[in-house]
Amino acid sequence: MRWLETVVAQLLAATVPELLAVVLGFAYVLLAIRQDRRCWLAGGLSTAIYVAVFVGARLYLQSVLQVLYVLLAVYGWRAWSSQAGMAAPLRHWAWRWHGLAALLVAVATLLTGPALQAWSDAASPWADALGTWASVAATWMLARKVAAAWLWWIVIDLGLAWLFATQGLAFTALLYLTFAGLAAAGWLTWRRMAARDAG
């Protein structure tokens, strides 16, 4: 029962900014699944708020990542408005491109994880680094409408949910667990759309 007391205490300690970022983050994923361009507005606002939330939790790379997310939200907004207002087509990457992306994530993690560990008071330097760089890769894929980005997000969101739970960000951890489920729904939805467009 002690774990339940800990969870309840974390939920009660959640801040208004964290809760607002959670709501906007949830809206981002729901809109992205529907290929609604407004997802990038919700995502940009959510990530702007999370900059401060993650600094407070000593997840420094996650905080820097949120700044990048704001920029990627601008990119996504523009990319999804291409072709004279028509939705950009779904893309499919060959496995070698996913392998290259995974290799780049691994290299970036190996470079930044030790640096965070040595030169900061980061709460979880290796998990922070891996989650950050994998998220950069998956966000780039989503902005380019690579369908398999959703598969990346399932794995990333489960890992980040654990990371955030260990840092006392209970609502954010619940959000990321929900994100993992929504990513699975996104994958199935985009596959259906691709099959319909091909048929």
pTM of the predicted model as reported, rounded to 2 decimal places: 0.77
The C-alpha atoms of residue 103 and residue 64 are separated, in whole angstroms, by 21
**pLDDT value at position 5?**
64
- How far does the chain reach from its first CA to its final CA, in angstroms? 54
8 Å CB contact between 142 and 32: yes
Tokens coding 28: 């981002």
Tokens coding 20: 């607002």
4-35 pLDDT, tens per residue? 566 556 555 567 888 899 999 989 988 988 88
CA atoms within 13 A on the CB side of 104: 14
CA atoms within 13 A on the CB side of 86: 5
Contacts of 89 (CB under 8 A, 6+ apart): 145, 197
Asked if residue 51 has pLDDT above 90, the reply is: yes
- Of the pLDDT bands very low, low, confident and very high (cuts 50, 70, 90), residue 165 is very high
Identify how many contiguous H helices and E strands the chain contains and give both numbers.
8, 0
69-125 pLDDT, tens per residue? 899 889 888 877 765 444 566 777 888 999 999 999 999 999 999 998 989 888 899
Measured over the CA atoms of residue 13, residue 4, residue 28 and residue 54, the dihedral's sign is positive
Tokens coding 139: 């966000």
Asked if residue 170 has pLDDT above 80, the reply is: yes
